[in-house]
Every structure is written in C-alpha cells, then in structure tokens.
Structure 1
Amino acid sequence: MRLAGVGGRLGGGALPGSARRRLGLGVVALLSAVGVALGAPAAPGVAAAVSPAPGVPLPAAMADTGGGTQLITARARTLSSTTGTVQWWQRHNGRWRLRGSAPARFGAGGLAEGGSRVQGTSTTPTGLYDLPFGFGTAPAPPGTTVPYRRVGAHSWWCEDNASAAYNRWVDPLPPDCAAAESERLAGYPTQYSRALVIGFNYHRPVRGRGAGIFLHVNGKGATAGCVSVPAGAMARILSWVRPSAHPHMAIGTASGATALTRY
C-alpha cells in the first residue's frame, strides 16, 4: 500500500475511506504492541529473543528459515520503527553467507505481528513468508528467473474484503472488486518499477488481515505496510532470487516477541 502525503507504498491500498475509518482502531492495537517492544513484560513462559551473538549469521540463529537455501531478512529495531535493514543470504555447504544488504523502510504505523495484523493500520506484518512471484512496470533485471509479471494499464491488486479476488493480482479489475478499495499498480511507476510479492495472507486469505504486501522500490517515505529498498537493491535481489532455492522472507524486530530469531 502507499501512504498519502508520505509517498511510500503502504502495502494494501491507498488508504481509502473505509481504511481510514479503521485506522483509529488499528492505532490502538499498535500502541499496545509498541508497549511490548519498549519494555512491557513478556508473556509468561516466553523468553525474550535477542539478536545472535557476534560472528553468528542471522539465519543460523533463527528458529526456521523456510527450508530453502535463500533467505531475505528485514529487521527493525522495535515495533514502532519505520526504518531498518534488509539483507539477503545464501546457504552453501550448510553455512549461511551474506550476499547483500540495504537500508529498508517499513509501514508508517511500524510493524505488527502477522497473525493478528489488521488491514488499514499501515503496519508491516512480521513473520516468515514465501515469495510467490515478482512484478513491475519495468522489465525484469538481467538474470531474473523468478516468475515476473509486467504491469499493464489494467493491472490491479484487489484489496476489497468482499471480493472473491481478495489479495490477488487481477487484470482487469473484476466487477466484484471495488476500485476504491484496491490499487492500480501502474499508478505507482516508481515504487512498482520492480517488486516481489510477499506471501503474507496470500495462500489462505483471511478477510480484514491485509492485502498487497510487497518488497518494492522506495517511494518518498514510509510505506503502508510493505517493505521497501533502494532501486539498485531491488534489482539485485530479483536477479539473485532462484525459485529452485525455495526463497523466503523473514520480517521482524531485533528482540522481543516479534524478533527475527523467533521465525
């Protein structure tokens, strides 16, 4: 989604009227989550996860990396952060090696645990997700092997909770998907010049949890729930990702209940 007045993509639409009405409730939930990140006591029986020891690759300290040999990590300091770092890793002979790093931007509302996220809150969902396909208004960079769709004049991402096409690429927009609740991808030639779909709420969509969460090129500021990186980094990631490596993306914080090491 994009964020009006900020210029970054918000990961699920342009904050239509209904989303703005839901934003107040989302802010309340977000403030509660931020309290956990800033020092509220952890739930009973839940240890406070922390960053790996110096010299230990981040994926080696994670509970799960998706089972493949490629992993993208997006880490923020706390749930209230709107910036952080994206890194991409390759496993070879049982050892994870860093292949690249870039500054990242997150949702204008910070981050939220993916399983309880609410659509319209401008939060980036934490968790471990697959990467179904890439897309863009620009051609795929040289070397790209991941499925890549070119954005056309009638390409949309449906974010209407009442539509059968909820959280899906559609071309053209189907009659049951309201344009005001969705996103015309060609309208964002900078952010969507190149992007990867993040598999949040994608395979078994839950209405109201959120739609259109991508890794894409930076806009002018924070996003509406996506993760964004500089254009050069996005091109390198797309050229590097290999479907045969079963790539995943993990999004989380440096410590606490939503720490990357928990995923």
Structure 2
Amino acid sequence: MIRRRTVVALLASPPLLTGCGGGGTAAGRRAAPTAAARPAPGPASGTAAERAPQGTRGGRGAPGVPRIPGLGPKRAAAIPERCRQAVVVTGRGKNSPLSTVVLYQRTATGWQPGPTWPAHNALLHGWSAHHLVGDLRSPLGVYTLPDAGGLLPDPGSRLPYHHSRGFHSPGTGFEGEPLEGSFDYVVAIDYNRRPGTSPLDWTRPLGPGRGGGVWLHVDHGDPTHGCVSVAKSSMRRLLRTLEPGSHPVVVMGYADWLAG
C-alpha cells in the first residue's frame, strides 16, 4: 500500500528532476536533475503514428503478418511500417502502477518476442490519454525512442547516448525507497520532447503544462511520476538492442486500451 503522507510530502516539495513525467523550475534547467520521483524534461510532439508520413503506418507489416499479441487494430496501425523494434508496456489496469515490458523484433515472419520484464508506471492513477504535469499518470500512446543517456558510462548503446552527471537522482521515492541509480540508464520516450536531443533537453513542444521527461529508466522498486521503469539489467539489454535503423517505438498503456 502506498503511504499517503509520503506522497503528499513529495508533491508539496519543489521539483527535483527532469525525468519521470513532470515539469521543473528554472534552476532545475540550469542544474543537474535530481530524483526519479520528480518531473523531467522531454521534447516530442505526439505519437510515432502522428509523425509518420501517410502510407507508412501499420503495425501488421506485410499482408498476412500477425499483429503483436495484445494489440488491437488501432494500436497496431499506429506503429509506423518502417518500425522493426517495439517495446510494449502493458499496464495491469487503468489505475494500476504495475506493468509488464516485452521487447519485440519484427522479422519476415512476424513480431518475435524477447524476454518479459516486470515494470512500474505512474503512481495511483496509472494511465492518461491527456497527460498533464503532476497528474501522476503515464501517457497512453505509441512513441518513438531515438535518444538515450545516463549517469553511468555508455554500456554499448546503439542509440545516441548522452553521458552526464545531470542524471544524478538523490532522495527517496513514494515509499521511502532510495532513488539513487534510477537514472543510471535512460531511454527518452518522445512524449512532448524534441527528438534527436539529450534526454535532459527541456524543450516542450506541447507546452510545459503537458509534462515531459517521460523515460524508460532503472526501477527503484515503486511507482513513478509518469515514466516506465525496469531492472538495471533490462535497461542495459534495451540499450544494447534498440538501434536507430530499426526505428524503435514504445507502445504503452493498460491492457484493455492496448487491445483497442
């Protein structure tokens, strides 16, 4: 059970960081971000499907190739045709902070699943089709994954990797768990951010009120502000597997929404 006193204390304090689905102060833009239980920067405007040219959409791929299990026709169609890697985040429920992550690779015969990893998403309210700063929800949608970074040196990332002390994450999370190491490795999710920049970039094309800094990052054992978190070993595998030439995306939402 989540301790309400801890949640209130975190929400009342000034933003610490640029990751995990929130905003930040002017000082936060000048200094390194701090905690995973805080907001983050991020610059992309819309889903991968919204940015894909007409005629290039369609998660089914070639005729007769099955969809990714669990994805309905709308979600599958939102995956750009050129995409060959999809990180599927399936939430346990609309208001649940628990989810599962599977990395799929598209081949000539269809989408092939990799390992299944337990994950966390946003605290208390789970998911939203209209994510806002401080709503403690993760954004539903299909988003590209073009940029990575972290506090630790590049572990062999195929995506552009931004190594910076700005990914330092001191403090504690909603359950009092230490946040140190949460941003050892991150992959920027293109929600309200500018693709092709460091995950620490504060550009917000949809405006600051729509949040940003939504990342895949290292799990700290409890829910996030809006990011998706998995074990450090899983993050290393993602970084060593996702590659620009495969145009990777994340498909994220609760199970019933994904099936639509």
In 2 relative to 1, CA 136–58 (structure 1 residues): closer, same or farther, beyond 3 Å? same
Specify every segment of 5 or more residues in structure 1 that has no aligned partner in the other structure, as ranges. Answer: 16-54, 156-184
The residue aligned with 2:230 is 229
Residues of 2 paired with 1:218 and 1:110: CA distance? 18
The residue aligned with 2:217 is 216
**Counterpart check, 1:252 vs 2:250:** no
Letter paired with 1:145: R
Contact kept? 2:22, 2:213, Cα under 8 Å: yes
SS at match of 1:80: coil
The residue aligned with 1:100 is 115
SS at match of 1:244: helix
Letter paired with 1:186: H
Q: Please, what TM-score do these two structures have when normalized by structure 1?
A: 0.63
**Counterpart check, 1:201 vs 2:211:** no
Aligned equivalent of 2:161, options 148, 152, 177: 148
Q: Tell me the CA shift for residue 13 of structure 1.
A: 5.4
Contact kept? 2:87, 2:250, Cα under 8 Å: yes
Residues of 2 paired with 1:148 and 1:110: CA distance? 31
Specify every segment of 5 or more residues in structure 2 that has no aligned partner in the other structure, as ranges. Answer: 1-6, 12-18, 26-65, 171-179, 195-204
Correspondence 1:1-263 to 2 at 5 A: 10-12=20-22, 57-58=68-69, 61=72, 62-67=76-81, 68-114=83-129, 116-142=130-156, 144-152=157-165, 155=166, 185-188=167-170, 189-203=180-194, 204-255=205-256, 259-262=257-260
The residue aligned with 1:48 is none
Contact kept? 2:67, 2:111, Cα under 8 Å: no
Q: Tell me the CA shift for residue 140 of structure 1.
A: 2.0
Give CA-to-partner distance per residue, 1:79-138, whole Å, 9 cap, x none: 111001011000010400002220010111333334x22111111111000113001011
The residue aligned with 2:37 is none
Letter paired with 1:87: V
In 2 relative to 1, CA 191–110 (structure 1 residues): closer, same or farther, beyond 3 Å? same
Residues of 2 paired with 1:13 and 1:221: CA distance? 20
- Identity, in percent, stands at 27
Residues of 2 paired with 1:91 and 1:77: CA distance? 25
Residues of 2 paired with 1:59 and 1:78: CA distance? 14
Give CA-to-partner distance per residue, 1:162-198, whole Å, 9 cap, x none: xxxxxxxxxxxxxxxxxxxxxxx32344110001000
Residues of 2 paired with 1:119 and 1:11: CA distance? 7
Q: Tell me the CA shift for residue 253 of structure 1.
A: 1.2
Q: Tell me the CA shift for residue 239 of structure 1.
A: 0.6
Letter paired with 2:22: G
SS at match of 1:145: coil
Question: What is the aligned residue count?
Answer: 185
Q: Please, what TM-score do these two structures have when normalized by structure 2?
A: 0.64
In 2 relative to 1, CA 121–138 (structure 1 residues): closer, same or farther, beyond 3 Å? same
